[in-house]
């Protein structure tokens, strides 16, 4: 998405709280200081894709700031990083293996043992694909 295609909404807000989360990110709570029209609310809903989880850049300009040149705001041109709470690739793989374990009727008594055996199998398969390296 180019910077010309970015969707922006501007609302007057009170920044009520900020709290640190376990992953060291920050949760912000903002509240509009005026009624939000149906059109503005529709735009908020559109930006959020009908639910929580939209990613983008947040810019807050304090009312006490003087002579801000909006054109010189340092908003990055690239997309904002994806939510920090998203699963890592290894967490996703483990979750998929757990579903497969359940689909197989939970073979054995312990998922951890089965998981390690499956991971050893996957590692072995990839090792077999590696080219011989000179010693």
Class of residue 43 by CB neighbours under 10 A (exposed 0-12, middle 13-18, buried 19+): middle
Judge whether 128 and 122 are in contact, CB under 8 Å: no
> The domain containing residue 52 runs over which residues?
3-72
pTM for the model: 0.47
Residue 80 located in a structural domain: no
Same domain, yes or no, for 62 and 115? no
pLDDT in tens, 62-105: 888 777 776 677 777 777 776 666 677 888 898 899 999 999 98
- 42 sits in which H/E element: helix 38-47
Same domain, yes or no, for 93 and 49? no
Same domain, yes or no, for 65 and 105? no
Structurally, how many domains does the chain consist of? Answer: 2
31: left (phi over 0), alpha (psi -120 to 50) or beta: beta
């Amino acid at each position: 998405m180019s910077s010309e295609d970015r969707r922006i909404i501007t609302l007057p807000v009170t920044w009520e709280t900020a709290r640190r989360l376990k992953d060291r990110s920050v949760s912000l709570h903002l509240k509009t200081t005026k009624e939000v029209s149906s059109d503005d609310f529709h735009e908020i809903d559109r930006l959020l894709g009908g639910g929580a989880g939209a990613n983008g850049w947040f810019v807050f300009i304090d009312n006490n700031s003087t002579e801000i040149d909006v054109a010189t705001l340092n908003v990055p041109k690239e997309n904002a990083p994806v939510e920090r709470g998203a699963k890592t690739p290894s967490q996703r793989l483990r979750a998929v293996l757990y579903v497969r374990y359940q689909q197989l009727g939970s073979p054995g008594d312990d998922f951890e043992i089965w998981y390690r055996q499956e991971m050893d199998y996957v590692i072995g398969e990839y090792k077999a694909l590696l080219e011989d390296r000179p010693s």
